[in-house]
Amino acid sequence: MKKICKQTLAALCLLGPFLLGTGQAEEQKPRTIAELVAKYDSSSCVDCHMNEYEQWHKSLHARSIFGPLEVGRTAATFITTIENGLKEWPYSGVNDPEDVGVKHLMVCAKCHLPQLQDAEDSVAKEIVQNLYAFAEDPYDEEIRDTLLSLNINCLVCHNRNAITHKWTDGYPDPKTVYGSKSGAHEDPLYPTMQESKIMGESILCGQCHGLGPNFELDNPTQCATLYGSHLFAYIPDGGTQTCQECHMRRSGLGHDMQAYRSPEMVKMALDIDVEANAFQWRDVNTMTPVANVLVEITNKAGHAIPDG
Amino acid sequence: MALYVTAKTLDGQVFYTNEKIYMPIPQQLGRGQKMGRGPYEKSGLIHDSALPPRKTTKESFMIPVYTESEEHGKTIRTQIAQDFTVNVEIWYLPYGKKDDPGNAQKWFAVTKNMHLPADQK
């Protein structure tokens, strides 16, 4: 099995052949981070889809429980969630970080790492240990790489989350990649290709880009609400473009889905017009020298700016 | 997102600043009038000044180019300058502050040269 080991996948490449060789891992719920990573192992994709891989690797989807590289803001906020949220709430069942299980982390992982739902509590505990270890030593490469190995990768969008309406379209098949067409697929691990009805639709992104409070949780959280703004403000005003049209095609960024940090997106964001004039306003003997400044800002995006 | 308006004399003295903030203010745990901060305690909204899509938001600023003082119970106005500049900037502030390299982004800036007629009756 030929494999290119990229930084974040390096650990996995060592374990990969061992874990993937045994068809059992699929039946059993992952019990370790390495097993969860192996279950959604996207390291083979890079061989044939180099462009998509390289673009994706630059996006925040590639570090979805870590956050922007220099900051690690998302990892830090997961800890705040445990310290100021879970531990403080009397009925959460969490007194210590060791008490955190999958259901507790799902308040964030619903969108930041949806595949955690398919894992044992031991994986949640291992994630929590790594989060605290990261807080103590943000420069430890091994801990960083472990946190970065958990992300929204190819198989999250092209398999796990590729079907929203499962009674209508069926459940995702573990040996299939979902895209815009059906047929044979060259990857021996994923030998078939199926059309996903939603790959080009906003709802694919809407699964994680939020509507408001997440009511299915015992203690609702709220982070991204941008899909709500797309549905209830952009569409009613006559907007017709999908997330993919703006973020992947018009921007030319493809799988490097970006926002305010990228000049391509900034250009597409606002039209700004500034008019200014100065004059003497006279009222009998009183002179009032003033300047009037008029700023007009038009939001050209498919949702409010900024998101909550 | 923030809009800053600054007026300066030609030698750099700032005599006017104003700002507008554009952001949703989430509610804390879906109750009351307090803002929720982390995503774990945000639920609902109490106010929202974010820029809505496909809409033009207009802001107008009237900048006084004078100072006022009292002399013998009379208000005296002094014009600050005949020539000055007005600077307008729009910043994207993901973590709420300008001094935040790599995160805070200056999206737009323009400086206009302004001229007033002399302060004579």
Contact A303, A205 (CB under 8 A): no
B96 has a chain A CB within 8 A of its CB:
no
Facing residue for A274 by CB, picked from B24, B30, B110? B110
Facing residue for A234 by CB, picked from B26, B54, B59? B54
Report the candidate in A12, A19, A179, A158 with the shortest Cα–Cα distance to residue A3.
A12
Report pLDDT for A308: 84
Asked if the bond preceding A174 is cis, omega within 30° of 0, the reply is: no
* A20-34, A44-58, A217-231: range with lowest mean pLDDT: A20-34
Report pLDDT for B121: 54
Task: Tell me the average pLDDT across B95-107.
Answer: 86
Report the candidate in A278, A289, A276 with the shortest Cα–Cα distance to residue B111.
A276
Q: Which residues pair with B45 in a beta bridge?
A: B26
Facing residue for A237 by CB, picked from B42, B54, B102? B54
Name every chain B residue with its beta carbon within 8 A of the beta carbon of A306.
1, 22-24, 50, 92, 94
Report pLDDT for B103: 83
pLDDT band at A227 (very low <50, low <70, confident <90, very high): very high
Note the helical H segments in chain A. Answer: 10-21, 33-39, 45-48, 50-58, 73-80, 102-112, 121-136, 141-148, 154-155, 166-169, 202-209, 226-229, 243-244, 263-269
Query: Under DSSP, is residue A264 helix (H, G, I), strand (E, B) or coil?
Result: helix
Per-residue pLDDT tens digits for A71-96: 899 999 999 999 999 999 999 999 99
B44 vs chain A: nearest CA distance in angstroms?
6
Q: Which of B5, B37, B40, B56 to mutate to test the interface with A (most CBs of A within 10 A)?
A: B40
Give residues with Cβ within 8 angstroms of A217, minimum separation 6.
A106, A107, A110
Query: Under DSSP, is residue B54 helix (H, G, I), strand (E, B) or coil?
Result: coil
Contact A236, A225 (CB under 8 A): no
Contact A289, B79 (CB under 8 A): yes
Q: Are strands B83-92 and B24-28 parallel, antiparallel or unpaired?
A: unpaired
Name every chain B residue with its beta carbon within 8 A of the beta carbon of A217.
none
Is pLDDT above 70 for A5?
no
- Gap between the Cα atoms of A154 and A26, Å rounded: 18
**Least CA distance to A104: which residue of chain B?**
B40
Cα torsion A125, A30, A178, A223 to 10°: value is -10
Task: Tell me the average pLDDT across A33-40.
Answer: 96
Residue A126 φ/ψ, nearest 5 degrees: -65, -35
Distances (CA, A) of A101 to A67, A107, A124: 21, 11, 5
Name every chain B residue with its beta carbon within 8 A of the beta carbon of A80.
38, 40
Is pLDDT above 70 for A298?
yes
Report chain B's mean pLDDT, rounded to a whole number: 94
pLDDT band at B84 (very low <50, low <70, confident <90, very high): very high
B9 has a chain A CB within 8 A of its CB:
no
- Gap between the Cα atoms of A162 and A301, Å rounded: 24
Q: Do B110 and A70 touch (CB under 8 A)?
A: no
- Gap between the Cα atoms of A220 and B24, Å rounded: 18
Is pLDDT above 90 for A284?
no
Whole-number percent of chain A with pLDDT over 70: 92
Report chain A's mean pLDDT, rounded to a whole number: 92
Residue keyed to tokens 């045994």: A22
CB contact residues (below 8 A), chain B span 28-57, against chain A? 30, 36, 38-45, 48, 50-57
- Gap between the Cα atoms of B32 and B27, Å rounded: 7
Cα torsion A84, B48, A264, A271 to 10°: value is -160
Q: What is the DSSP string of A277-293?
A: EEEEEEETTEEEEEEEE
B67 vs chain A: nearest CA distance in angstroms?
10
Per-residue pLDDT tens digits for A126-152: 999 999 999 999 999 999 999 999 999
pLDDT band at A19 (very low <50, low <70, confident <90, very high): very low
Cα torsion A91, A96, A101, A107 to 10°: value is 60
Note the helical H segments in A64-119. Answer: 73-80, 102-112
- Gap between the Cα atoms of B50 and A303, Å rounded: 10
Is pLDDT above 50 for A2?
no
- Gap between the Cα atoms of A33 and A10, Å rounded: 14
Residue B48 tokens, joined: 């929202």
Count Cβ atoms within 10 A of the Cβ of residue A211 and give its class: 0-12 exposed, 13-18 middle, 19 or more buried.
Answer: middle
Report pLDDT for B120: 62
Name every chain B residue with its beta carbon within 8 A of the beta carbon of A298.
54-57
Task: Tell me the average pLDDT across A24-33.
Answer: 79
B78 has a chain A CB within 8 A of its CB:
no
Q: Which of A274, A283, A296, A298 to mutate to test the interface with B (most CBs of B within 10 A)?
A: A274
pLDDT band at B119 (very low <50, low <70, confident <90, very high): low
Is pLDDT above 50 for A4?
no
Facing residue for B43 by CB, picked from A213, A239, A274? A213
Name every chain A residue with its beta carbon within 8 A of the beta carbon of B66.
287-289
B61 has a chain A CB within 8 A of its CB:
yes
B1 has a chain A CB within 8 A of its CB:
yes
Report pLDDT for A9: 44
What ipTM did this prediction achieve? 0.94
Facing residue for B51 by CB, picked from A230, A290, A305? A305
Residue A131 tokens, joined: 């989060």
